[in-house]
Structure 1
Amino acid sequence: MNKATSLRRALTAAVPSLAVDPDKLLVFIDAGNIIGTGAVSLSFDYAYTLNVIIEDFAGDADTVFVAVMAWVRRNQSDLLTNDDLRKSGISFEADQLTQTTVDLSIKLRLTESVVVGTNDAGEQTIKHVDEPVPEWDVNSLVDPQWTS
Structure 2
Amino acid sequence: MKKPTALRMHLIAAMPHLDRDPDKLLMFVDEGRILGTGTGTRSYEYQYTLNLILTNFGGNPDAVMVAVVDWLATNQPEQLDNNERRRDAIQFEADILSDDLVDLSIKLPLTERVIARQVEGRWETKAIDEPPSVETDWLTNFERRAAGG
2-structure distance, mates of 1:77, 1:67: 14
On the 8 A contact 2:26/2:54 being kept in 1, the answer is yes
Alignment of 1:130-141 (within 5 A): 130-138=129-137, 140=140
Summarize deviations over 1:33-53 as a string: whole Å, max 9, x none.
111111222111111100000
Partner of 1:112, secondary structure, is strand
Match of 1:123 in 2: 122
2-structure distance, mates of 1:74, 1:128: 15
Match of 2:24 in 1: 24
2-structure distance, mates of 1:30, 1:3: 14
2-structure distance, mates of 1:89, 1:22: 25
Question: How many corresponding residue pairs?
Answer: 140
In structure 2, list runs of 5 or more residues that go unmatched. Answer: 142-149
Alignment of 1:59-138 (within 5 A): 59-119=59-119, 121-138=120-137
2-structure distance, mates of 1:5, 1:89: 19
Q: How many Å apart are 1:138 and its aligned residue?
A: 4.4
Q: How many Å apart are 1:125 and its aligned residue?
A: 1.1
1-structure distance, mates of 2:41, 2:124: 11
Partner of 2:5, secondary structure, is helix
1-structure distance, mates of 2:121, 2:134: 36
Summarize deviations over 1:36-71 as a string: whole Å, max 9, x none.
111222111111100000000011011101110000
2-structure distance, mates of 1:49, 1:80: 16
User: RMSD in angstroms over aligned alpha carbons?
Assistant: 1.6
Partner of 1:65, secondary structure, is helix
On the 8 A contact 2:81/2:135 being kept in 1, the answer is no
Normalising by structure 1, we get a TM-score of 0.89
Q: How many Å apart are 1:118 and its aligned residue?
A: 2.3
2-structure distance, mates of 1:86, 1:137: 14
Alignment of 1:5-44 (within 5 A): 5-44=5-44
In structure 1, list runs of 5 or more residues that go unmatched. Answer: 142-148
Match of 1:145 in 2: none
Normalising by structure 2, we get a TM-score of 0.88
2-structure distance, mates of 1:88, 1:123: 39
User: Is 1:47 equivalent to 2:81 in the alignment?
Assistant: no
